Each structure stands twice: as C-alpha cells, then as structure tokens.
Amino acid sequence: MAVEHWNEAENGPLTEAAMRRTLEEGGYVVSRYIYPPGTYFSPHTHNVDKIDGVLAGRFKLEMGGNTVILEAGDTIAIPKGAVHSAEVVGNESVISLDAIQYS
C-alpha cells in the first residue's frame, strides 16, 4: 500500500481544486465527501479502480493486512476488488476526494 504525498513543488499549494485537477488529469471522475468523526466503513470492495484523497482530517485505511493513516494531501490507490476498511481518526471530519476510474 503506497501512500502518495502531495508535492507542492510539482503541483502547487494543496487545495481542493488542485487535487481534483490532478486526479481528473489522471483519467478519474472525482466526487467530494465529508465524513464526520466516528465514521467507519467495514471491510468491502469496489468494482472499479479508485483513489482516495484526503484534504482534511485523518483517515485510517486497512487493506491487505496493512494499515495507514492518511492526512491532508495524501492519496492512496485502491485496486478493483481489494478488500479494505476505513475509519475517521480523531475529532476532525475527513474531507475526501473519491476518484473512480472507469474502464
């Protein structure tokens, strides 16, 4: 599970518009979500490749026996069919960009 961190030198300051543009340029359709503290997504899969991007808050993701904490500027690829779970960590809502790649 490789977390990619926002690169200001390459992409400029982290903003919602900048992250959205970067994901869309990669061929993804992007939706914005806000998850309040306590939100938990039990183990599940998706039928498409996707990327989760975090603009604010802390989002714990478990996949393939590994756990990472995503913070502002972090993105992670979730392959089609990969079993994973996610949880908001702490008292701050997570603002997430959910990027889906349709084949």
Structural domain boundaries enclosing 66 = 3-101
CA distance linking residue 70 with residue 10, whole number of Å: 20
CA 45 – CA 28 distance, rounded (Å): 18
CA distance 69 to 62: 9
Q: What is the CATH number of the domain that holds 74?
A: 2.60.120.10
The two counts, helices (H) then strands (E), for the chain are 2, 9
Count of domains for the chain: 1
103 pLDDT higher than 70? no
Average pLDDT over all residues of the chain: 95
Q: Tokens 């972090």 label which residue?
A: 74
pLDDT tens-place string over residues 22-65: 999 999 999 999 999 999 999 999 999 999 999 999 999 999 99
Task: Give the up-direction half-sphere exposure of residue 62: CA atoms within 13 A in the CB hemisphere.
Answer: 11
Q: Can you say whether residue 20 is alpha, beta or left, with left for phi > 0 and alpha for psi between -120 and 50 degrees?
A: alpha
- Answering whether pTM is above 0.85, one says yes
